[in-house]
Homo-oligomer: A and B are copies of this chain.
Amino acid sequence: MPLNARVFVALTRGKKKKGVWDVRRSGSTIKEVAQKAGVSPMTVSRVLNNQDVVRETTKRRVFDAIRELNYRPSIMARSLANGRSLCVGLLYTNPSHGYLSELLLGTLSACRERQHLLVVDKPDEDLLRRDPQYVEQTFLRSSIQALVVAPPLSEDAEFMAKIAAAEIRYIALGPVHWGNGLSVCIDEIAAAEDMTSHLLELGHRDIGLIRGPAAHAASALRFEGYKRAIEKAGIPVDERLIADGNFDYHSGREAARRLLSGDKKPTAIFATNDDMACGAIGFAYEQGLRIPRDLSVVGFDDSPSAAANWPPLTTIRQPVREMAEIAVGLLDADIMTIAPDQRQRVVPHTLVKRESTRPLLD
């Protein structure tokens, strides 16, 4: 028998007391626990997995050994052996910080529940655009078996096409549906319609809209919702009340500048995301306007800035955490058994009323 690694490790272990801070291999194995408890590794495994066949006294012995050795099972070995747990990749580029935070919470808890491994990744956007092989390379090297893709990455047609071609199971978050893939989203049109109706109910009739960038699927849908509500109220859609932004603070400021310096001045502004709403409010302050006394402003997304701003923003909340949980759950299912019309999962949104709006006084 050659002097192989095993022997070497055994020797090392014998000589040098194994401390917490040893660089590698700080854990004990199931075998060591078994030996200490005077049982077979299999019994230890049974105890760990709550199989109730094990005798109480044996169980106790095993638990004692586990505690003494400070034993922790290895997920790697475990998943390798039972082949049950998936290695799930969570892909995002630049969602808002609040979105990311909730997204993590949701995927995390869903993965833990199913004993899946969550591997978070933020692909480099430049490489994504420039290197056509990047995606392929990345997924060839990694061992990710399933993907959850967050917006705005999930709205990138080119990227999603590559994902589909890479023959990987995936779920997209956001108002999109690509090929055979599943997606989870809110009804963007209905949400925007709700928000617009809310402003109408407060008596506003000249409602400005700050649109999102064309690259985001959500932009067109939110615009559509706005139009529907306006038209249902019997008001013609006025081009002078519509400005374009690209979902960031600065563009919201500029859009508000255009809207408020035109010849048709809105009494309320619906910014189709919170950052733009904050920008609009910033511009309004600069002009000496008071919010909501002189102008009502609403946002969309319920990002952290929505609640932290002054005044706190009325906005639309997506249940991001729940959506993420659903997405991970869907990964388990055999997609072929899901009817095509069930592949886009729509979850309810909420209109969060805060202090950035008030009834129009006439």
Of chain B, the residue at the smallest CB distance from A334 is: B23
Nearest chain B CB to A17 CB, angstrom units: 12
A77 proximal to B (CB < 8 A): yes
Stretch at the interface among A38-46, A53-61, A165-173, A219-227: A165-173
Query: Which residues of the partner chain B approach A76 to less than 8 Å between Cβ atoms?
Result: 75-77, 79-80, 87, 117, 143
A348 proximal to B (CB < 8 A): no
A27 proximal to B (CB < 8 A): yes
A329 proximal to B (CB < 8 A): no
A134 proximal to B (CB < 8 A): no
Interface size class of A (residues with CB under 8 A): 35 or more
CB contacts under 8 Å to B, within A160-188, are 166-169, 180
Return the CB mask of A16-59 against B: 1 if under 8 Å, else 0: 00011111111100000000000000000000000000000000
Return the CB mask of A288-322 against B: 1 if under 8 Å, else 0: 00000000000000001101111100000000000
Asked if A66 and B309 sit within 8 Å, CB to CB, the answer is no
Asked if B73 and A143 sit within 8 Å, CB to CB, the answer is yes
Query: Which residues of the partner chain B approach A308 to less than 8 Å between Cβ atoms?
Result: 249, 275, 278, 305, 309
A118 interface neighbour in B119, B307, B311, Cβ under 8 Å: B119
Q: How far is the CA of A299 from the CA of B27 in the complex (A)?
A: 44
Asked if A101 and B108 sit within 8 Å, CB to CB, the answer is no
A122 proximal to B (CB < 8 A): yes
Q: How far is the CA of A76 from the CA of B143 in the complex (A)?
A: 8
Query: Which residues of the partner chain B approach A249 to less than 8 Å between Cβ atoms?
Result: 307-308
CB contacts under 8 Å to B, within A134-149, are 139-145
Asked if B27 and A145 sit within 8 Å, CB to CB, the answer is yes
Query: Which residues of the partner chain B approach A332 to less than 8 Å between Cβ atoms?
Result: 23
Query: Which residues of the partner chain B approach A21 to less than 8 Å between Cβ atoms?
Result: 169, 180, 334-336
Query: Which residues of the partner chain B approach A286 to less than 8 Å between Cβ atoms?
Result: 310
A129 proximal to B (CB < 8 A): no
Query: Which residues of the partner chain B approach A114 to less than 8 Å between Cβ atoms?
Result: none
Asked if A70 and B166 sit within 8 Å, CB to CB, the answer is yes
Query: Which residues of the partner chain B approach A22 to less than 8 Å between Cβ atoms?
Result: 334
Asked if B26 and A72 sit within 8 Å, CB to CB, the answer is no
Query: Which residues of the partner chain B approach A144 to less than 8 Å between Cβ atoms?
Result: 72
Mark A residues whose CB is within 8 Å of B. Answer: 19-27, 66, 70-80, 83-84, 86-87, 96-98, 100-101, 104-105, 108, 112, 117-122, 139-145, 166-169, 180, 249, 275, 278-279, 281-282, 285-286, 304-305, 307-311, 332-336
